């Protein structure tokens, strides 16, 4: 089969690899209908994370079940399924608490499973899925229906980017009437706008300096856009929210902020843009934001939470919203390419010619 393999920085190739097979009774094999490139795939692509040896890449896919191990009863051959970007057991304490991303047996794509077997990347024609019983998420509609309804991009978004945006809003404790600032206008930030809206935010300020992304943020529910960054961005938010009725004289700040980038600057902005007692949800992989001052949280009573989204858990909330047409997160895909052109997919995202690229095997 054809699958994407990253060999080194800026060297991703579509190449032939062995077809996956069932290796344990808990496995499934899924034929990939669509996959995509994640902002976090750009870390190794850009050389920020070293690529020690060639490995299959990609962790977002929707597809059709082709084979099932003898212990898997949660789906049937032929089912159209979404895969969360991490596989999980469904029974450990973290899974039961709604945090399968922190599963005791958490297993990612492109590495090895807990039995030591290699796990395929999601950017390929087929993928072996370990921990399939809990990880397969059947949509309940046929492939033909889904394709005819144009649902593929929206369902694919639930595999990671929409779930991650929702996790940012959930982790920031967004609730009815909150004023929320979304830091980052990438695909995750845009989905964070959707997440904040689903959780009832009254006002959503998207920090964006790209007209096309700002327009999509507004379509997704942003009420305001601020183009400035850093301290200027915080000042612009204060101006926007208006002078406080209290004694400070300056403008108000947000109740919550979603940190959807993962750099020190974006984290600083998220922390500075919330009021005393405010909340920050962070989902940007913190490659460049290693340390946080406890004192800084203490002095302003800020709560911070986040991490890898428990996509498998959020799908239960988000799938009905997609099927009813309430949300259309697949609009973050602004380029679709055949899997064979995966190198161009990475280049387009790296050069910001595309927000997020959908790949068709």
Q: Which residues bind a second copy (CB under 8 A)?
A: 89, 91-99, 101-105, 171, 244-248, 252-253, 255, 267, 275-277, 279, 282, 285-286, 289-295, 297-308, 310
Q: How far is the CB of 277 from a second copy (least distance, A)?
A: 3
Q: How far is the CB of 55 from a second copy (least distance, A)?
A: 20
Q: How far is the CB of 19 from a second copy (least distance, A)?
A: 28
Tokens of 5: 């393999």
- Using the minimum distance from each CB to a second copy, give the nearer residue, 217 or 237: 237
Q: How far is the CB of 252 from a second copy (least distance, A)?
A: 5
Q: How far is the CB of 118 from a second copy (least distance, A)?
A: 21
- Using the minimum distance from each CB to a second copy, give the nearer residue, 77 or 97: 97
Q: How far is the CB of 235 from a second copy (least distance, A)?
A: 16
Between CA 168 and CA 153 the distance in angstroms is 21
H helical segments located in 86-199 = 93-96, 132-135, 143-148, 152-158, 161-171, 187-198
Residue linked to tokens 């327009």 = 215
- Using the minimum distance from each CB to a second copy, give the nearer residue, 25 or 277: 277
Between CA 339 and CA 3 the distance in angstroms is 8
Q: How far is the CB of 195 from a second copy (least distance, A)?
A: 16
Between CA 168 and CA 173 the distance in angstroms is 9
Q: C-alpha angle 139/155/79, rounded to 5°? A: 30
- Using the minimum distance from each CB to a second copy, give the nearer residue, 187 or 302: 302
Q: Is 74 exposed, middle or buried (0-12, 13-18, 19+ CB in 10 A)?
A: middle
Phi, psi angles (nearest 5°) of residue 309? -70, 140
Q: Count CA atoms within 13 Å of residue 327 on its CB side.
A: 31
Between CA 269 and CA 88 the distance in angstroms is 33
Q: How far is the CB of 181 from a second copy (least distance, A)?
A: 14
Residue linked to tokens 């695909």 = 187
Between CA 127 and CA 14 the distance in angstroms is 15
- Using the minimum distance from each CB to a second copy, give the nearer residue, 288 or 335: 288
Q: How far is CA 179 from CA 98, 172, 225, 254, 318, in A?
A: 26, 11, 13, 5, 22
Displacement of CA 356 from its chain's centroid (Å): 11
- Using the minimum distance from each CB to a second copy, give the nearer residue, 48 or 148: 48
Between CA 340 and CA 361 the distance in angstroms is 7
Helix (H) or strand (E) holding 66: strand 61-68
- Using the minimum distance from each CB to a second copy, give the nearer residue, 318 or 339: 318
- Using the minimum distance from each CB to a second copy, give the nearer residue, 70 or 250: 250
Q: How far is the CB of 274 from a second copy (least distance, A)?
A: 10
- Using the minimum distance from each CB to a second copy, give the nearer residue, 8 or 94: 94
């Amino acid at each position: 089969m054809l699958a994407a393999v990253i060999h080194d920085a800026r060297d991703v190739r579509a190449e032939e690899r062995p077809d996956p097979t069932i290796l344990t009774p808990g496995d499934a094999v899924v034929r990939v209908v669509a996959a995509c490139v994640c902002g976090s795939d750009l870390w190794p692509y850009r050389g920020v994370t070293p690529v020690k040896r060639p490995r299959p890449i990609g962790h977002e896919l929707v597809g059709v079940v082709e084979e099932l191990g003898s212990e898997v009863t949660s789906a049937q051959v032929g089912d159209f399924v979404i895969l969360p970007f991490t596989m999980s057991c469904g029974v450990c304490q973290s899974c039961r608490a709604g945090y399968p991303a922190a599963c005791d047996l958490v297993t990612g794509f492109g590495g090895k499973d807990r039995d030591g077997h290699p796990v395929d990347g999601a950017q390929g024609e087929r993928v072996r899925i370990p921990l399939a019983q809990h990880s397969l998420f059947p949509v309940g509609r046929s492939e033909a229906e889904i394709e005819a309804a144009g649902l593929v991009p929206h369902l694919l978004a639930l595999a990671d980017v929409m779930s991650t945006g929702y996790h940012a809003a959930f982790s920031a404790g967004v609730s009815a009437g909150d004023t929320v600032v979304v830091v980052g206008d990438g695909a995750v930030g845009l989905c964070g706008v959707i997440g904040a809206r689903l959780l009832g935010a009254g006002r959503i300020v998207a920090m964006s300096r790209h007209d096309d992304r700002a327009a999509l943020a507004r379509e997704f529910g942003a009420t305001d856009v601020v183009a400035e960054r850093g301290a200027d961005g915080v000042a612009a938010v204060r101006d926007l929210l208006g002078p406080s009725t209290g004694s400070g004289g300056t403008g108000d700040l947000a109740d919550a902020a979603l940190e959807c980038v993962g750099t020190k600057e974006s984290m600083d902005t998220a922390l500075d843009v919330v009021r005393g007692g405010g909340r920050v949800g962070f989902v940007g992989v913190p490659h460049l934001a290693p340390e946080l001052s406890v004192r800084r949280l203490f002095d302003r009573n800020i709560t911070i939470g986040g991490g890898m989204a428990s996509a498998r858990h959020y799908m239960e909330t988000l799938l009905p919203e997609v099927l009813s047409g309430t949300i259309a997160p697949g609009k973050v895909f602004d380029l679709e390419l055949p899997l064979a052109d995966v190198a161009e997919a990475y280049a387009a995202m790296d050069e910001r010619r595309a927000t997020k690229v959908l790949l068709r095997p």
